[in-house]
Structure 1
Amino acid sequence: MSLRILLTNDDGVDAPGLQVLLGIARQLSDDVWVVAPDGNQSGAGHRFTFGRELSLDKRGERTFAVRGGSPADCVVAGMTFVLGEEPADLVLSGVNNGQNLGDIMHCSGTVAGAREGALQGAFGIALSQAVNYSAGLDIDWTNAQKYGVDVIRSLIEQKGARDTYYNVNFPFCPPAEVSGIRVVPHQRFSRSPMRYYPSDNAGKFFVAIPDTPRPLDKEADFHLLTHGDSITVTPLTLRQTDVETAARLDGQLPFTSLR
């Protein structure tokens, strides 16, 4: 039976990376649907649009844009309305223009699309194509195009617990120099990379990532993607409970009356 696949992203329905993802998905199934934001939603994280009406614009056969919607909004609309009584088996989010690594994943709309797919009961995978920011912002999609299908197929074949979803990054090296696939943890930075960044306009500022916190773990995604030319795969879990701390604290916190 063919997979039913839902695609989304955070760069917008017209983004080149979504066309790359569409080409990948069509090699996996002939039942592919797109529900994506009508514009750029980078950094939106897992935001939902509560209290404000949204609308679906049909952009083509099986392709819809959500006006002002986040990636999470798009997956909800796709899984619970557009696809009717047959929600997707697989939700693919991306291909993002730029890497999603380390703690930056927490604000990533691309990763949130895969996470909401998993929360909705599908198999969720976020995919990003790395950019060499020190050399400019030009992006080459070749590695995502060349290796994307095989990576996704491999993950489906090795599918783990229902609460698991995946973050995949393709390196920016030439395809022949890709060193392989590494299943790795995400980089926990020593501090958040997010910083106040002054604008040239008086009284204005940006929230930006001016530099990468150090040190970097040589066995984590950030180092292995940028210095090891590896395709990095990071399994993530919907269960966010710190089980070890919960077990340690159980029965240890003193009861204090609120009266």
Structure 2
Amino acid sequence: MMKLLLSNDDGVRAEGLKVLAERLRQVADKVTVVAPDRDCSGASNSLTLKRPLCPETMDNGFISIDGTPTDCVYMGLSSLFNAEAELVISGINHGANLGDDVLYSGTVAAATEGRFLGVPSIAVSLVGKQHFASAAEFIARLIPAFKQLSLPPGSIININVPDLPYDEIKGIRLTRLGHRHQAGEPVATIDPRGKQRYWIPRVGPTKDAGPDTDFHAVEQGYISITPLHVDMTQHSALADLQVWLAGLEGLLESDRD
């Protein structure tokens, strides 16, 4: 039995969050839900810094915050709600978080904030909008063994579940992130008052969906599990950069002369 903090980026009233909370309350000691008061898809790791936040407790016990997914996990793990979480779970997202999606995902960002604050964290997404119960069932079966998992510091787990009945899912695949093509140009439109507006387009089509990628696993009917690392340092580039900077050093000294 564990103490869990749940959040998401689709909003506190989202079906995926509701289904996940209901299922996990059957296997967890305590489930605290702190989520945005609206859809914050694409919010990434943004924090609300220029105004105060206003938490409100809903009739079902969920806590709604007028902020981002990262705000919600930050607040949820503070002493305000006495969450005492041993695991942060973000989701169930309404749609995929595959490949480059993780750069923009509020779902992944909420899990990242949990890990940053020292709590093991999982992001879970349904690649569709129908079989949320399948994703919830998988997480319910996974978390009893989660304490046995040892990950490097700064790591989170990104899970994508195919939109299938649970007994039709073929299995689990450990994957790497695939990649998408660049999205298209902003889409122009005119609002009712005649002002020019622009929509950000949908994500680009798949570019790298090799057999070891998250895209491929889900397409074949498997649950994809991808470890993500918060450290964005490109360690393999350090040696080349060191040589380059050594050449710049003399140039900067000449400029000072």
Check whether TM > 0.5: yes
Which letter maps to 1:14?
Answer: R
Residues 174 and 107 (structure 1), Cα distance of their counterparts in 2 relative to 1, 3 Å cut: same
Structure 1 residue 196 corresponds to structure 2 residue 194: no
1:159 Cα deviation after fit: 2.9
Residues 146 and 31 (structure 1), Cα distance of their counterparts in 2 relative to 1, 3 Å cut: closer
Structure 1 residues 34-74: Cα deviation after superposition (integer angstroms, max 9, x where no partner): 1111111111111111111211112247531102x000000
1:163 match: 154
Q: Is the 8 A contact 2:131 2:165 kept in 1?
A: no
Separation in 2, partners of 1:194, 1:93: 29
SS at structure 2 position matched to 1:19 = helix
Q: Is the 8 A contact 1:103 1:192 kept in 2?
A: no
SS at structure 1 position matched to 2:31 = strand
Separation in 2, partners of 1:99, 1:194: 19
Structure 2: gaps spanning 5 or more residues = none
SS at structure 1 position matched to 2:32 = strand
Which letter maps to 2:183?
Answer: P
- Calculate the TM-score normalised by the size of structure 1: 0.87
Q: Is 99-108 or 25-34 further displaced after alignment?
A: 25-34
Separation in 2, partners of 1:223, 1:90: 28
- Of the candidates 209, 229, 235, which is equivalent to residue 227 of structure 2? 235
Separation in 1, partners of 2:120, 2:185: 33
Structure 1 residues 208-241: Cα deviation after superposition (integer angstroms, max 9, x where no partner): 226414343232011221x210100110011111
Q: Is the 8 A contact 2:182 2:203 kept in 1?
A: no
Structure 1 residue 223 corresponds to structure 2 residue 213: no
Separation in 2, partners of 1:142, 1:103: 26
Q: Is the 8 A contact 2:179 2:207 kept in 1?
A: no
Question: Highest Rg: 1 or 2?
Answer: 2
Q: Which runs of 4+ in 1 moved over 6 A?
A: none
Matched length: 248
Separation in 2, partners of 1:212, 1:44: 21
Identity of paired residues, percent?
31
Separation in 2, partners of 1:195, 1:94: 29
Structure 1 residues 180-232: Cα deviation after superposition (integer angstroms, max 9, x where no partner): 1111011123x43364233365622211226414343232011221x210100
Structure 1 residue 100 corresponds to structure 2 residue 91: no
Q: Is the 8 A contact 1:183 1:233 kept in 2?
A: yes
- Calculate the TM-score normalised by the size of structure 2: 0.88
1:12 match: 11
1:103 Cα deviation after fit: 0.2
2:176 match: 185
